[in-house]
Structure 1
């Protein structure tokens, strides 16, 4: 798979491909109750699973184990894309959800993909260097409290987030494709990704433990 496709799957959401190589102390697993998971826009309870279909097809499972990366305690997830197993990490704090992974051909990436307490229209950005190019990711919380139907299933309490990615080069801002839109349902997680010219990925099934 090309570097661009690797990056696209990461941006499609739950980062992907190879596990990060940080060797830091791993704390004991922390227990998260099902009741608490029902309040999250990205549940991390051990054994929870999500399966996606569309222009990209993959599945995820929360292992529930913890790993300290950059001083933060992340929850470990296993990703399966057509039989290829890799690892991603999710950090939650005060309504913010950050993903961390190593993307093949790109390197380590850490992005805050959702801030549920941000007001509608609020935005946040991360700037990083990918393959020698400075890249800025700007997320905007478009709408809260949506009801959205995905593959015939209705989800309530949905947040829509828009991602605009630009490469900064010689004083210019070069867009990476069209803006992407992500939809997160409370107590479920991400239910849909609209990836501009690259199509759509939809939640096919899930189990929250």
Structure 2
């Protein structure tokens, strides 16, 4: 088992140790050279008011997180660049912390399905989290690969996902959000020992319609961390 397999924090949520000078490895995601700076034209489903991950150019979010044991802040914003990856359009997002350069990740938002492509905390391993399928009711479940070929560091990896609550009200750092969906994601690996896929950690995501991610709780082998939305601007 490779030592970096377990710590898988999407960058915009818990990015603080991921911001290195090395380029992120997007091997397997097959980008093309076709870019477009107008997401509204290319994706009619990207209306900010109806989306759980707004993708309008210039929208931004600031998060407070205790991932390093200290309270830190990260800002993320939609650049307006759309990148086709494996035949699907992804919206470029850049996030940064004080003294660390921008880190690129991607949102996929279409047909009420929401995904994030991001990098791991300690190693530049690229993974995809399918955090919400809004076509499903409370209790609805889905399974998703964490990479195009289903491997992370050459080990089969997937997420098991479930909608826990919909239409709830949640208060984060004193601010109350309505129309919130709560989803749960379990990270699993199969090390070929005959036991099949085994759980290695989980996330709870809270997404507010028209706002985006407002809170993320992570629990990886007993290591717990939470990221809170502190301020945002939706264009």
TM bracket (short chain): 0.7 to 0.9
Aligned residues: 205
1:4 positional shift:
5.5
How large is the Cα RMSD of the aligned pairs? 2.6
Q: Distance in 2 between matches of 1:11 and 1:23?
A: 21
What TM-score results when the alignment is normalised by the length of structure 2? 0.77
Q: Deviations over 1:88-141 (max 9, x none)?
A: 111211100122245473533233211112111111112321122222211111
Q: More deviation in 186-195 or 122-131? A: 122-131
Q: Distance in 2 between matches of 1:174 and 1:5?
A: 12
**1:59 matched residue in structure 2:** 75
**1:42 matched residue in structure 2:** 53
Unaligned runs of 5+ in 2: 68-72
Distance 1:99-1:136 versus aligned 2 partners, 3 A rule: same
Q: Does 1:206 align with 2:232?
A: yes
What TM-score results when the alignment is normalised by the length of structure 1? 0.86
Kept in 1, the 8 Å contact 2:36–2:80? The answer is no
Q: More deviation in 192-201 or 155-164? A: 192-201
Unaligned runs of 5+ in 1: none
Distance 1:131-1:12 versus aligned 2 partners, 3 A rule: same
1:3 positional shift:
3.4
Q: Distance in 1 between matches of 2:151 and 2:59?
A: 33
